Homo-oligomer: A and B are copies of this chain.
């Protein structure tokens, strides 16, 4: 009767191998975490929450959040780059809005978690 194999590591060496194969591909994970990271800054969170209600220009956002125009513009750049917001020139200002309904859902899902 064979000696019982000494267990290497707590458990699931086999399960780990299976999981390794099922893991989402690297680029998907990278984009996923970048998206969450974009939502994970107070200023950007506030910008996105505001845009849930209404398209706003940089000037208005700066007013609303009581921050410098430059700071807002830099953050909008980040959100723009990640396609979380879209924008369109209109009159004097550039108006930003959520790019996608998914963004809204993400925010609401997050709020649900926080406010439970």
Contact = CB atoms under 8 A, between A and B. Distances in A.
Given A19-B50, A23-B46, A106-B106, A63 B13 contact: yes
Contact of A19 (B32, B36, B53, B111): B53
A29 interface: yes
Given A40-B33, A40-B38, A109 B109 contact: yes
Interface string A1-44: 00000000111110110011011100011111111111111101
Given A11-B57, A64-B19, A32 B106 contact: no
Interface string A34-75: 111111111011100110011011011001100000000000
Q: How many copies does the complex hold?
A: 2
How many of chain A's residues touch chain B, expressed as a range?
A: 35 or more
Contact of A32 (B12, B54, B92, B111): B111
A81 interface: no
Contacts of A59: 9-10
A32 B46 CA distance: 10
A41 B50 contact: no
